[in-house]
């Protein structure tokens, strides 16, 4: 729960937080998949899709509620791709997420929406699709605990990373510094061991990964390999290279 804690404090001492996406988990073995990540994953990312804002249906608040009951200490990173976002807030806030992220494009009143999430004691996130610029977020950046930059068009797991979205990560990092703000920057879609170093170099704090984690025989090993890839590329000096250089496609 948010309280007076700032989300950035959860990242202290870690170069990158990893949030595996349950969208790619085996639904009939979700418990086993989640528990296999013990000690490797930082957060759990839960994708909620409405078949309207995005062309797919996934989970609902019942899953978030069940996860919270089963894993009281786990940071539940809930990403709702539903429109209008306002109509779904009460049911998701009642399911006790740690962070609730709504889409700018799906909220008619983004300021009120973020305020409502914060008033409920939940960290508030705001997301933008690949086709949305960072600038429209400016009026609400001071309210956001996290900005989620979609690096695929939302709706499905297993899509290719859109490297150009890293430019927006750079803009958001600059805006944060200029304005003395504290939000974390999260990226979601097509993240894997080949592009994780470029993602980090661009300024992301949190990486969501579905297929690259749960699509592997050993999900915990896949997270570990991404951390190793990040360290190795950093040691090789990826920081000085262009953001597109390591933005490998699947
Ligand atoms: C896409 C979802 C993502 C998705 C990522 O609409 O928001 O969280 O699960 O999956 P991968 O990592 O497979 O692209
Ligand atoms: Zn997501």
How large is the average pLDDT for residues 164-172?
98
Exposed e or buried b per residue across 101-138, where buried means at least 16 C-beta atoms within 10 angstroms of its C-beta = bbbbbbbeebeebbebbbebebbbbbbbbeebebeebe
% of the chain exceeding 90 in pLDDT: 87
Report pLDDT digits (tens) over 14-32: 999 999 999 999 999 999 9
Atom number of ligand 1 nearest to Cα 209? 12
Ligand 2 centroid–CA 18 distance in Å is: 12
Dig out the tokens for 164 from the structure. Answer: 């150009």
Task: Round to whole Å and give the CA distance between 154 and 159.
Answer: 9
Q: Per-residue pLDDT for 147 more than 50?
A: yes
- Protein residues placing their CB within 5 Å of the ion ligand 2: 47, 79, 188
- Which ligand is closest in space to the CA of residue 25? 1
Q: Per-residue pLDDT for 136 more than 80?
A: yes
Dig out the tokens for 175 from the structure. Answer: 């805006």
CA-CA distances (angstroms) from residue 140 to 26, 124, 126, 166, 181? 36, 11, 9, 20, 11
- Which ligand is closest in space to the CA of residue 148? 2
Nearest Cα to 82, choosing from 63, 65, 105? 105
* Atom 4 in ligand 1: residue holding the nearest Cα: 157
Average pLDDT, the chain: 93
CA torsion angle for 57, 61, 64, 67 (degrees, to 10)? Answer: -100
pLDDT at 152: 98
Report pLDDT digits (tens) over 98-117: 999 999 999 999 999 999 99
Residues with CB under 6 Å of ligand 1 are 21, 23-24, 45, 47, 79, 152, 154-155, 157-159, 188-191, 208-212
- Identify any residues that bridge with 100 across adjacent strands, giving them in sequence order: 78, 124
Dig out the tokens for 154 from the structure. Answer: 């939302």
Angle among Cα 222, 228, 230 to the nearest 5 degrees reads 105
Mutation choice for ligand 1 from 27, 47, 151, CB with most ligand atoms inside 8 A = 47
Element (H, E) at 213: helix 211-214
Task: Cis check for the bond before 51: say yes or no (omega within 30 of 0).
Answer: no
The upper half-sphere exposure of residue 225, i.e. CA atoms within 13 Å in the direction of its Cβ, equals: 15
Tell me the pTM: 0.94
Q: Per-residue pLDDT for 244 more than 70?
A: no
Q: Per-residue pLDDT for 35 more than 90?
A: yes
How large is the average pLDDT for residues 215-225?
96
pLDDT confidence bin for 2, thresholds 50/70/90 = low
Atom number of ligand 1 nearest to Cα 22? 9
Report pLDDT digits (tens) over 54-84: 999 999 999 999 999 999 999 999 999 999 9
């Amino acid at each position: 729960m948010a309280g007076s804690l700032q989300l950035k404090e959860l990242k202290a001492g870690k170069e990158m937080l990893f949030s595996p996406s349950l969208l790619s988990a085996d639904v009939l073995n979700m418990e086993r998949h989640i528990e296999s990540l013990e000690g490797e994953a930082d957060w759990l990312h839960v994708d909620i899709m409405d078949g309207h804002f995005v062309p797919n249906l996934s989970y609902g608040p019942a899953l978030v509620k069940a996860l919270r009951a089963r894993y009281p200490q786990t940071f539940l990173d809930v990403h709702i791709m539903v429109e209008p976002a306002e109509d779904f807030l009460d049911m998701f806030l009642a399911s006790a997420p740690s962070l609730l992220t709504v889409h700018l494009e799906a909220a008619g009143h983004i300021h009120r929406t973020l305020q409502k999430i914060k008033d409920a004691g939940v960290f508030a996130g705001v997301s933008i699709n690949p086709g949305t610029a960072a600038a429209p977020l400016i009026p609400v950046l001071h309210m956001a605990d996290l900005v989620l930059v979609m690096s695929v068009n939302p709706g499905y797991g297993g899509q290719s990373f859109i490297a150009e979205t890293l430019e927006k990560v750079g803009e958001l990092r600059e805006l944060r510094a200029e304005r003395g703000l504290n939000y974390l920057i999260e990226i979601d879609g097509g993240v894997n061991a080949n592009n994780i170093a470029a993602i980090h170099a661009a300024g992301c704090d949190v990486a969501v990964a579905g297929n690259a984690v749960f699509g592997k025989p050993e999900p915990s090993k896949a997270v570990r390999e991404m951390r190793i890839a990040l360290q190795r590329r950093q040691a090789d000096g990826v920081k000085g290279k262009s953001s597109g250089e390591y933005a490998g496609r699947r």
